[in-house]
Chains A and B, each alone.
Chain A
Amino acid sequence: MNKIVAKRHFSENVVELVVEAPLIARARRAGHFVIVRADEHGERVPLTIADADSEAGTITLVVQAVGESTRKICAKVIGDCLHDVVGPLGQATHIERVGTVVCCGGGVGVAPLLPIVKAMKAAGNRVVSILAGRTKELIILEEEIRQSSDETIIMTDDGSYGRKGLVTDGLEAVIKAENVNLVVAIGPAVMMKFTALLTKKYEIPTVCSLNTIMVDGTGMCGACRVTVGGRTRFVCVDGPEFNAHEVDFDEMIMRLHAYDNENK
């Protein structure tokens, strides 16, 4: 079983869990995710792998409690087990040396961004990371991101930490100051949408990682489907990363609300 060997709180509703999963730790690469079921009655929930230690046989997950299932996962303590963990799933991030890469993370999106920042840096890129959150308490993994970035910018909506403003304000300042070859954006759908709109204006290639509703995570059901470049794609097998300029974010946001009224 998948025992939890370490846990820390980033904020009241955001926790980091280090989980025993030796086969996944060995096989995973940046961009991969897992499907987790907290207990025998649980839903299957997709979570991106934030880090892994193949020697210790562990993977790191960052979870924000937003609903019943994520609350159950966040409530687990060291020594507890996750009932099911399967992966690594999805296509790994395409990593190559392109020059300057700006990595933008919003909220818990910083967790899946971390392995990409590390891999982009290891591939010889100049990496500028922009971490954004509503308020200071919601900025996570700052130290880890700083260690792998050439420059790190913090943005908060309320100005409680770093610069005041949205991720797009920080990004536009970087774009104006230097030549940017690639932007990677991971966070709430609306944040990725506006990041994509901004970089489209500057014609900078942009990759986003979509976090849609999933069930199996293996291409079997199509719950996660999105329209990319006019075609229906399955986030779990074709993604989760796509060219942000081709994603129909409005449709994706609409689909994220499918179960809002479905109270059990």
Chain B
Amino acid sequence: MDIKEIRAAHRAETWREELRKSKSAKERMSQPRVKMPSLSPETRIRSNNEVNCGLTAEMAMAEASRCLDCADPQCVTGCPVGIEIPSFIKNVERGDFRAAAAVIKATSALPAVCGRVCPQEKQCESRCIYHAKMGKEAVAIGYLERFVADEEMAAGEITAPVAAPCNGIKVAVAGSGPAGLAFAGDMAKLGYDVTVYEALHEIGGVLKYGIPEFRLPNKIVDAEIDGLRRLGVKFVTNCIVGKTLSYDDLHRDGVRGIFAASGAGLPRFMNIEGENLNGVMSSNEYLTRINLMGAASASEDTPVLHGRNVAVIGGGNTAMDSARTARRMGAENVMLVYRRSEEEMPARLEEVGHAKEEGIRFLTLRNPIAYLNDGNGRVCAMRLQRMELGEPDESGRRSPVPVEGAIEEIPVDLVIVSVGVSPNPLIPRAIPQLSVSRKGTVVVDESTMQTSVADIYAGGDIVRGGATVILAMGDGRRAAACMHRALSGE
């Protein structure tokens, strides 16, 4: 049976047919989309608590009843890991949350994470029939996914998916971010002996050092990693593939396949005057000090610079995370400097909205051209060039062009540069046979994720440059399926 036949069979189950008939489509469609309860802006900027509070069971079941259980569900095609969305949602509607969790876990290793950080408005929810055909708000698939995962965690009855018997074949994963975790989960389910090597002292990659606690609590990430441990995945921290263990070392240990998922950690700078002044740092440094090293807490040794007037340069999710973190670190005036207009911002709409509610000032159509020295090596001001939008570029976005003579100087004592990342060079440098693009990304066959070295597969940001958590997970799943085919001779 192919996936469509399986899907149709599930949809034809008696309980599901009865559930569909229990309410008219008109009744379902007349309900408004659920609103996510959240902490008020005044409360939340004084703590690191999660802003979104999650749905109650009643809210989740009501929202689930909006879903029309389409015969040919397009939402599934918008999900990079192909979650059987109507199937889990209908289980929520009938109140069987454990069954819903089992459906999600069949394809997704980290539902509590993805339900929180995926840009659903660009993925599953963008294909929902409500949004695509009826001009209504999409079913809140992300909120429901999160509800199901949280519910399972709260019940303390997290069931590991059934794994195939161990086949004794060793595979190694370089990097414990979303791509590596998704790959590890799938390979463990297929019976492989999986070890994940992580360079840092904590597992989780960007989920730990990058995405802040107020958007993704670390205990959620840890709970999902524990789920992988129960599946038999082994984790080794403080170990860098290509440095601590070479490609040859892994082979000597009997490893038959390697998945390189070391991410795009290398931050970009703009190479402008004053960028190396004290008080100018990458968002990766700022967020790592605070999220991974706990610099905000008095019990941790790692310090971080504080500022009253903080500028964050960039318009992506990392820029939003940095700006909102600066607010929580006590900055009085947080400015987001973006060279295009708000419409072009790559950040999630929800994050932009949250940032504005928290009092972040948006200085759009402005680009920094220099940072000024206070005389002691610390930044004291930024010089901004006003921009206007010109013709669309190759990506289809209108490119910003400077407005001649329109330059302003704004006092700042902390600048966080968040203008993108490049692939980390450690693995390409350690394995010179790996084919690498001009931008430094590892080249793969896009259908199999196989690199130019036959037993090395790669995925996530090391292949894409800076992308999203869920795309990285999709890569991990695809690589697992293809490596399995190659290793099992199927």
A37 to chain B, nearest CB (A): 6
The answer to whether the Cβ of B9 comes within 8 Å of any Cβ in the partner chain is no
Interface pair A258/B305, CB less than 8 Å apart: yes
Say whether A193 faces chain B, with CB atoms less than 8 Å apart.
no
Closest approach, in angstroms, between the C-beta of A58 and any C-beta of chain B?
15
Query: B200 contacts the other chain (Cβ, under 8 Å)?
Result: yes
Interface contact B301-A222, CB-CB below 8 Å: no
A255, B278: Cβ atoms closer than 8 Å? yes
How far apart are the CA atoms of A59 and B272 in the complex, in Å? 40
Q: How far is the CA of A89 from the CA of B424 in the complex (A)?
A: 14
**A-binding residues in B (CB < 8 A):** 199-201, 209, 237-240, 243-246, 249, 265-267, 269, 271, 275-279, 281-282, 284-285, 288-289, 293-294, 298-306, 377, 424-426
> Cβ of A215 < 8 Å from any Cβ of B?
yes
- Evaluate contact between A27 and B305: CB separation under 8 angstroms: no
- Say yes or no: A86 contacts B244, CB within 8 Å: yes
Question: Does A176 touch B at the CB level, under 8 Å?
Answer: no
Chain A residues, Cβ within 8 Å of B294: 41
Query: Does residue A84 face the partner (Cβ distance < 8 Å to B)?
Result: yes
Asked whether A88 lies within 8 Å of B285 as measured between CB atoms, the reply is: no
A23/B239 in contact, CB under 8 A? yes
User: How many angstroms between the C-alpha atoms of A88 and B20 in the bound complex?
Assistant: 60
Q: Is A178 in contact with chain B by the CB < 8 A criterion?
A: no
Instruction: List chain A residues, Cβ under 8 A from B426.
Output: 218-219, 237
Could you jot down 21 A-B contacts, CB within 8 Å? A37-B201, A44-B201, A44-B293, A72-B301, A84-B237, A84-B238, A218-B199, A218-B240, A218-B424, A220-B265, A222-B284, A222-B285, A227-B276, A234-B266, A237-B266, A237-B426, A254-B277, A254-B278, A255-B276, A255-B377, A262-B304
Q: How far is the CB of A67 from chain B (nearest CB, A)?
A: 9
Q: Are B278 and A215 interface neighbours, CB within 8 A?
A: no
Rounded to whole angstroms, the CA-CA distance of A211 and B240 in the bound complex is: 21
Contact assessment for A221 and B303 in the assembled complex, using a CB-CB cutoff below 8 Å: no
A-side interface residues, number (CB < 8 Å): 40
How long is the Cα–Cα vector from A69 to B294 in the complex, in angstroms? 15
| Alpha-carbon distance between A251 and B275 when the two chains are bound, in angstroms | 11
Q: Is the CB of A215 within 8 A of B285?
A: yes
Per the bound structure, the CA–CA distance linking A68 and B276 in Å amounts to: 25
Contact present for B377 and A219 (CB under 8 Å): no
Nearest-neighbour CB distance to chain A for B6, whole angstroms, equals 42
Verify B265–A86 contact, CB threshold 8 A: no
> A214 — nearest CB in chain B belongs to which residue?
B285
Shortest CB-to-CB span from B129 to chain A, Å, is 42
In the assembly, what is the distance between CA of A232 and CA of B272, in Å?
Answer: 10
Q: How long is the Cα–Cα vector from A254 to B376 in the complex, in angstroms?
A: 8
Complex Cα distance, B364 from A58, in Å, reads 54
A89's nearest neighbour on chain B, judged by CB, is B243
Contact at B265–A259, with CB atoms within 8 Å?
no
Residue A24 at the B interface, CB < 8 A? yes
> Taking the nearest CB of chain B, how far is it from the CB of A216, in angstroms?
6
Q: Within 8 Å CB of B201, what residues of A?
A: 37, 44, 83-84, 86
**Which residue in A84, A85, A222 is a CB contact (below 8 Å) of B267?**
A222
Cα A122 to Cα B100 with chains together (Å):
65
Since A86-B200, A222-B267, A222-B281 are in contact, a sample of 5 more A-B pairs with Cβ atoms closer than 8 Å, ordered by chain A residue number, is A27-B249, A86-B201, A221-B265, A221-B267, A255-B276
CB pair A259 B199 closer than 8 Å = no
